[in-house]
C-alpha cells in the first residue's frame, strides 16, 4: 500500500511572489518526493506496508531503532499537509466557527498571530509551527525536525514549514518575512476550518 506523493493543489507559479516556482519545484519534486520514496522503500515487504502512514507514525514514534523510518514517514505526511495549508490569494482572517474558536482560546486573532509567528521564529534549526486542537482547546506548538502533533494525541489544523528549504531561495535568512507572508498572504483558512469541523 505505497504512500503516493500528492500533486500540489495549485500550479507551481500560483503562490508567487511569496513562494516561487523554483522553491516549489525543489521542495515538492525533490525534498518531498525523496521522503515518500524512502518511506515506501523502507516499509516495502514489512508489516507496516499494510498500514496507513498515520498509523505507522504513531506506532513507531519514540522508537530510536526506527528513527529513520519515522523521519521519512513524518516528513512525507507533514509536507502533504503543509501544501494544503496554503492557497493562492490566501491569508487574511478566518471566519465563522474557526474565528470564534480562535478568539475564545487565544483572546483574539492578533494574539494567535503573535503566538504562531513566535513559534515559527523561535524554532531553533529545522522544524514546524502548528495550530492544533488539544483536548478541545486550540494551541500553538512547534516541533523539531520531522516531529508532528499526531504523536502527542493532538489534531493538526495548520502547519508552517520552517526548514530552510521551505523559504531560503526566496527569503535567504529572513525567516520572519516568510512567516509574515505565510500568515498574511498564503494561509488556506478554509482548509483549517475543515480540519476543525472534522476533529
- The model carries a pTM of 0.96
Helices (H), the chain: 21-26, 33-43, 53-60, 67-84, 96-106, 109-122, 168-171, 175-181, 189-198
Q: Does the residue 113 lie in any domain?
A: yes
- Whether the pLDDT of residue 31 is over 80: the answer is yes
* Residue 130 near residue 140, CB atoms below 8 Å: yes
Q: Does the residue 44 lie in any domain?
A: yes
CA of residue 91 relative to chain centroid, distance: 15
Asked whether residue 45 falls in the same domain as residue 65, the answer is yes
Asked whether residue 115 falls in the same domain as residue 164, the answer is yes
Asked whether residue 168 falls in the same domain as residue 194, the answer is yes
CATH code at 187? 3.55.40.20
Asked whether residue 152 falls in the same domain as residue 191, the answer is yes
CATH code at 26? 1.10.287.990
Average pLDDT over residues 62-83: 96
Q: Does the residue 48 lie in any domain?
A: yes
Give me the number of domains the chain comprises: 2
Annotated binding residues for Mn(2+) = 27, 79, 161, 165
Q: Give the tens place of pLDDT for each residue, 119-155.
A: 999 999 999 999 999 999 999 999 999 999 999 999 9
Amino acid at each position: 500500500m505505497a504512500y503516493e506523493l500528492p500533486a500540489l493543489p495549485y500550479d507551481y507559479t500560483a503562490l508567487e511572489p511569496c513562494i516561487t516556482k523554483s522553491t516549489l519545484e525543489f521542495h515538492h519534486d525533490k525534498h518531498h518526493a525523496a521522503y515518500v520514496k524512502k518511506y515506501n522503500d523502507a516499509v516495502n515487504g514489512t508489516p507496516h506496508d499494510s498500514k496507513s502512514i498515520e498509523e505507522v507514525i504513531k506506532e513507531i514514534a519514540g522508537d530510536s531503532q526506527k528513527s529513520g523510518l519515522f523521519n521519512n514517514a513524518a516528513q512525507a505526511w507533514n509536507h502533504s499537509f503543509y501544501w494544503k495549508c496554503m492557497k493562492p490569494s490566501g491569508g487574511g482572517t478566518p471566519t465563522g466557527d474557526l474565528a470564534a474558536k480562535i478568539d475564545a482560546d487565544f483572546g483574539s486573532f492578533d494574539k494567535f498571530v503573535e503566538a504562531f509567528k513566535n513559534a515559527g521564529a523561535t524554532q531553533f534549526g529545522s522544524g514546524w509551527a502548528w495550530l492544533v486542537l488539544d483536548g478541545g482547546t486550540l494551541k500553538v506548538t512547534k516541533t523539531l525536525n520531522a516531529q508532528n502533533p499526531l504523536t502527542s494525541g493532538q489534531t493538526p489544523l495548520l502547519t508552517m514549514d520552517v526548514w530552510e528549504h521551505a523559504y531560503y531561495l526566496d527569503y535567504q535568512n529572513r525567516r520572519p518575512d516568510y512567516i509574515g507572508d505565510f500568515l498574511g498572504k498564503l494561509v488556506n483558512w478554509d482548509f483549517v476550518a475543515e480540519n476543525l469541523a472534522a476533529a
